[in-house]
Amino acid sequence: MTREVLQPTARPTADSVDTLEDGTAQRYLRATIAVAVLGTVWCVAYLAGSAGTEALAYVFVPVGGALAAVSVHHLSRRNFGFDPVAARFWRAIMLAVGVITIGYAWLALDMLTHAAEARTRSMPAPAAACVAIGFLIAFWALARVPVVPSGGVERWRMVLDRMIAFLGCAAALWYVGLAPMLSAREPWSRQAMLLVGLAFLVAVGAATKVSYIAGGPVDRVAMRLIAAAGGVPAGVVAVLAVQFGYIASVPAQAIVMPLAPVLVTFGVAAQSRADHGLRRDPARVGVLLPYLAMILVDVPLIAVAFGAPLRWPVRVVLIAAVVVTALVMVRQYLASRENARLLRTSRVQEDRLQYEVSHDGLTGLANRALFRDQLTSALATAGSVSVLLVDLDDFKTVNDLLGHGVGDRLLVSVARLLRAEVGNDGLPVRVGGDEFAVLLSGAGADPEDLAERLLAALSHPISEHRLLVQASIGIAAAEPGATADSVLRDADVAMYTAKQRGKASFVRYVDGMGEPVLAHMQLGGELRRALDNNEFRVVYQPIVRLDCNRLIGVEALVRWHHPTRGVVSPAEFIPAAERTGLIVPLGRFVLRETCRQAAAWLAEFGPDALKEAGLNVSARQLHDPDFVHDVVSVLADSGLPCERLVLEVTESAVLRGQQVSRALYELDRMGIRLALDDFGTGESSLSLLRAFPAAIVKLDKSFVDGIEIDDGRPAAVDARQAVARAVIQLAHALGLDTVAEGIESAEQVAALRELGYTVGQGFHLAEPMTADGVSRLLALQQSAADSPETVIC
């Protein structure tokens, strides 16, 4: 016997189940349409006198209702892609349709068993109760569907809009539908009118509800179709009952009422389409319905105005119109309050935005834009106008050493001080960074008095960190015909001049003051051109042994050979290079040239010819994150050993923050020797020597000048040599080498040697020279060393 192999059955996918469900919905839709068409055909045949008893008209509604209930049941069983809200809604609709179908099946059975009385027989009370309960369940299901989320005034506005829409539409349906049935020639039963009223209630409630649903799990089109299933047949039945009396019950039951199951199944199909992503984008919700309701509630009033009798149904509509009018008044009152609140909020936001645009976010002072506007307006009045430009001295050091948070709080404290000193006499401004300004207008304002008060206030510690900060102040008074740009330019020139004169002072602008400042600014532009055109040259000042004048090293110095001005002094262009940031590429050029030349000397004259080659490094270079990488790259390209390179750093540069400290320690770990230049002129301290990885201490020229003078007073001689003696003793104690700078006489050499200095540099020993000059010295030194009569020192 052969064994059959059972193939596993493929589990249906979500897409296949959706396709099956859509096909089922379409089949039930076609079936309910067929029932409605069959009812229409039978009604036409019955009215023609050849289709049997009138009681058969009551069969079509329960048959179509059963099909609609089964269709809703299939939809409510779906368990994927279905929100719990939608599942709850459709289960309730299934229950409502089922209960209504039971009521109409009861009615059909009752009519078939009493066929002779079908035209005049009333609906059994149990059947009417079932239909009424079904309508109430449908109304409850619609009420539980969530609407647009809202709160506060918006929530009350929505409630009022829904009440206006509900009462207006209900009043119109009462006037044109239900009220005429009560006064018809052949009055209908209470059960029929109750059910028509409930159908109207469901229709109006659903229409109101759908207008305030923005998207959501229950499709808005499906809800409209469910509402139409109650409202459309009820309205048509009401019209038929008023116009044709009892005879209208046949077309009502066979043609009109079977449309309700058809509309329900259309709703099921719409929900299925929505679940497949074919949902329409929700339009703006709840906008037109209240206005439409107000128009509808006015229709009966217009009819009365044109002569319609004022019976009690119309009085009901009048009462509804009064209530709607009251609700509209409340709604408009809330809307006016909300509009006023929004207007106030808009004005507050506009004021806040205007303030933020015109004021500094950190200090709260006026910013540059407001400053220029106020200055332009003040100049237009042709009054007395003065501007103070206040720039904090060395503020960058605060940021580098203490951090930007401390710097920001210091700026806030300066702004507070500025505001207190200026008072109502002018406008304090933060121009940007660490730069402030004051605009003074009026004949009584004294800018120089204010500048003195500001400098006096800044002479005391400020901010919670108790910091001392100084400022340079430039003052410019507006001349007749002056513009905002010219006044600001003059104040900037005066402030720059105050900085050049030693900072912590104020300068008032006078004619001609801008020329040297402008020349200094133009110098920065020429520096960029000079770098591009290779106008800089490196010269070398020898460093020698004091006992035998032997060359042991060089210090690289840079000179600018200007095409028209000749050689420009470093004292003139180095500050400009520092200010513009061009010191970084200029220092990179000096580093590369020095290392290349030192490597060439070692290759030509041997490793013992030159012990070291040094160059100055500024704090701006050490702040450059690429500086260490540049040094490594230049050493690799030139082939100069690390221990032959000396980088000279000033005491003030050592104290410029963590970035500088990290760079110095990284260079020290590479074997590069670091020299503390101009020692004794800055923040000299034992802690500095211990914290800084220095290998060499260079005694500043100011402590060498006058060291050789002997006026016969031992105390005076000791005083002139005290710093030099202390430096050499400190260096020996810490194991550091020393170099004396600025030696200009043989007597100074003798005095320094007596104090213990062995190495020095200066014009007496050798002036700065070109690389060829150093090469000649090395050659002479080498030839002397080769002579058997020369004693090597």
Enzyme catalytic residues: 741
Rounded to whole angstroms, the Cα distance separating 457 from 395 reads 17
- Residues facing residue 391 across a β-bridge: 435, 472
Helix, strand, or coil here: 614? strand
Nearest to 614 by CA among 737, 734, 765: 737
10 Å Cβ neighbour count for 267? Answer: 28
Sort residue 549 into left (φ over 0), alpha (ψ -120 to 50) or beta.
left
For 390-422, b where at least 16 C-beta lie within 10 A, e where not — what string?
bbbbebbebbbeeeeebbebbbbbbbbbbeebb
| E strand residue ranges, 662-736 | 673-679, 696-699
Rounded to whole angstroms, the Cα distance separating 419 from 438 reads 9
Given CA atoms 623, 625, 628, 633 in this order, what sign does their dihedral have? negative
Q: What share of the chain is helix, strand, coil (3-state, %, to 5)?
A: 60, 10, 25
- Residues facing residue 540 across a β-bridge: 556, 769
Whether 78 and 128 have beta carbons less than 8 Å apart is answered as no
10 Å Cβ neighbour count for 777? Answer: 18
Computed over its alpha carbons, how large is the radius of gyration of the chain? 51
Q: Number of helices (H) and strands (E) in the chain: give both, helices first.
A: 28, 14
Helices (H), 174-281: 179-182, 190-210, 220-244, 249-251, 259-273
Helix, strand, or coil here: 549? coil
Q: CA 77: distance to chain centroid? A: 47
Six-digit token pair at 555?
């210090």
Rounded to whole angstroms, the Cα distance separating 690 from 688 reads 5
Six-digit token pair at 635?
């050493």
- Return the C-alpha torsion angle 222, 225, 227, 233, nearest 10: -160
Six-digit token pair at 621?
């270079």
Six-digit token pair at 559?
């000179």
Angle, CA 77 vertex, CA 75 and CA 79 arms, to 5°? 110
Q: What is the DSSP letter of 676?
A: E
- Residues facing residue 557 across a β-bridge: 539
**H or E element in which residue 615 lies:** strand 612-616
3-state SS of 463-527? CCCCECCCEEEEEEECCCCCCHHHHHHHHHHHHHHHHHCCCCCEEECCCCCHHHHHHHHHHHHHH
Six-digit token pair at 500?
């050049």
Six-digit token pair at 75?
């939809």
Whether 283 and 87 have beta carbons less than 8 Å apart is answered as no
In the numeric block, the tokens 């770990």 are attached to 669
Residues 6+ apart with CB under 8 A from 342: none
10 Å Cβ neighbour count for 723? Answer: 18
